[in-house]
Amino acid sequence: MASILVVDDEPSLRELLEIMLRKQRHEVATTATLAAALTRIGAEEFDLVISDLRLGADSGLGLLEAVKARAPATEVVMITAFATTENAVQAMKLGAYDYVLKPFKLEELQLVVDKALEHRRLLAENRVLRHRVGDRGAEPEPILGHSPAIEQVRQVVAKVGPTRSTVLLTGESGTGKEVVARAIHAAGDRRDQPFVAVNCGAIPEGLIESEFFGHEKGAFTGAGERRAGLFEVAGSGTMFLDEIGELPAPVQVKLLRALQERRIRRVGGTADIGISARIVAATNRDLSEEVKAGRFREDLFYRLNVIQLRLPALRDRPEDLPEFCAYFLARIAAEQGWAVCEVSPEAMRLLEAYAFPGNLRELANILERAATLASGPVIGPEVLPPAVRGGEAPGELAPAQGLPPGGLDLQAHLDAIERRILEQALARTGGVKTEAARLLSLTFRSLRYRLAKFGIGE
């Protein structure tokens, strides 16, 4: 059984679709206008939306964008009697699952509905399974480097690993916070218990409470069975709350209560469940400033900030670069089936002089690109991105200047410009992604895709 919203300005078609879907035991809501549909999706969560492309004077594409911005996991099927290639392509680009032409047979539409709902179910199961992998016995990635800053990190990990203390990892994006969290887990007596990692900024707001605490059968539309939450799945292991600063205020309150009382209650449940997982949280934000700005609860901050460990940026430990390069290149060679490359002294000097705003994640991407473009087993300066080689700063190539004498890597140049604009938009909006999307005239889904492309905010 699924929850489906039908949006069409033809009463007869709305009634026909409602009858057909209710026969399949789905819960069905219907509306005739774009405004009414926007109100419904703002107040409820649907598994599937079926909408006409034309809704009086309005376009169903606007509804499609709104659905995908609010609930990216909701599938959308567009129906229309006015088919054009342009409309079909635009609908699919905006995230529609399928495009059905009028007149259609009910069996045809039923097949599309079944496939759309199955697609949603599989995606949801895959997402939960990724969160719920216990990693029992898995060897964590090593904490690489021998600079004084990283040696201090190792010392703290060795001391806090065997304890039950809550740890807050801070530092810029890409500095390896999950690697350190896994090392803390492996250093204690919980190493044989689950390590459950959850990105607090990647779960839709309406699903966070259910993901954390679980739900009972029938607790909400689509809750067809009882489901244990991630705290239960973690058991006596470690719960890694990445991007903790992204949590909405209502969930902050419930998380604080869970940490204080060491008990949770499933959504729709009446019984409390004891929890014993250790908490390791991580953020690239300054939570003390977030508290001052009223975006993060002060009492939750103090509950998490028992032991704070700040991870150094890569630019602050250039002496560790050779070890990281050797590690990443060996991993790339193993994954791709290539011979292991090495970095030439000239290229290494350029890497050591580069600021690495994306830290280790950016270094790994640069090395994979360089290994792909290199003509032999040695990575030279010529295959490094222009920004690393000390060429024009991203976005500062004036049209009147033309191309630099040595040419430039156009894709790398455009990527650097796009990355910088995305980072500026997030900085201006205080990390609020919906506002950043509005500022850049993007859909929320498009913004999330672009952020994931560059590893921003992970």
Name the β-bridge partners of 29: 5
CB contact at 8 A, 293 and 301:
no
Q: What is the pLDDT of residues 21-34, one digit of tens each?
A: 999 888 899 999 99
Centroid of chain to Cα 346: 36
CB contact at 8 A, 387 and 412:
yes
Here the tokens at position 100 are 């059905």
Phi, psi of 165 (to 5 degrees): -65, 145
d(CA 333, CA 205): 39
Phi, psi of 99 (to 5 degrees): -135, 115
Q: What is the pLDDT of residues 168-178, one digit of tens each?
A: 999 998 899 99
Here the tokens at position 187 are 């250093």
What crossing angle do the helices spanning 345-353 and 321-336 adopt, rounded to 10°?
110
Centroid of chain to Cα 217: 27
d(CA 58, CA 51): 12
In this predicted structure, what is the pLDDT of residue 381? 92
In this predicted structure, what is the pLDDT of residue 216? 86
In this predicted structure, what is the pLDDT of residue 396? 39
Q: What is the mean pLDDT of the chain?
A: 85
In this prediction, residue 129 has a pLDDT band, given cuts at 50, 70 and 90, of: low
Supply the DSSP symbol for 196. E
Q: Cβ–Cβ contacts within 10 Å for residue 27, how many? A: 15
Q: Cβ–Cβ contacts within 10 Å for residue 278, how many? A: 22
Rounded average pLDDT over 432-455: 80
In this predicted structure, what is the pLDDT of residue 402? 52
- Strand (E) or helix (H) holding 138: none
186 against 93, higher pLDDT: 186
Here the tokens at position 385 are 């991105």
The amino acid at 394: P
Tell me the pairing of strands 27-31 and 48-52.
unpaired
d(CA 317, CA 216): 49
Q: How far apart are the first and last CA of the chain?
A: 34
d(CA 311, CA 198): 19
In this predicted structure, what is the pLDDT of residue 298? 96
Q: What is the pLDDT of residues 298-323, one digit of tens each?
A: 999 999 999 999 999 999 999 999 99
Burial of 213 from C-beta contacts in 10 A (0-12 / 13-18 / 19+): buried
CB contact at 8 A, 265 and 228:
no
Q: Cβ–Cβ contacts within 10 Å for residue 380, how many? A: 17
Here the tokens at position 420 are 């910088």
CB contact at 8 A, 61 and 36:
no
pLDDT score of 128 more than 80: no
d(CA 291, CA 256): 14
pTM for the whole structure:
0.58
Per DSSP, the three-state class of 3 is strand
Length of the chain: 458
Cα angle 40, 76, 85; round to 5: 130
d(CA 379, CA 348): 9
Q: What is the pLDDT of residues 413-431, one digit of tens each?
A: 777 888 888 888 887 787 8
Which residues, 6 or more positions from 400, have their beta carbon under 8 angstroms from its beta carbon?
Answer: none
Q: Which domains does the chain show, CATH number per domain?
A: 3-130 (3.40.50.2300), 134-312 (3.40.50.300), 315-454 (1.10.8.60)
Using alpha carbons, select from 429, 380, 433, 389 the residue that is nearest to residue 407.
389
d(CA 246, CA 456): 13
Percent of the chain with pLDDT over 70: 91
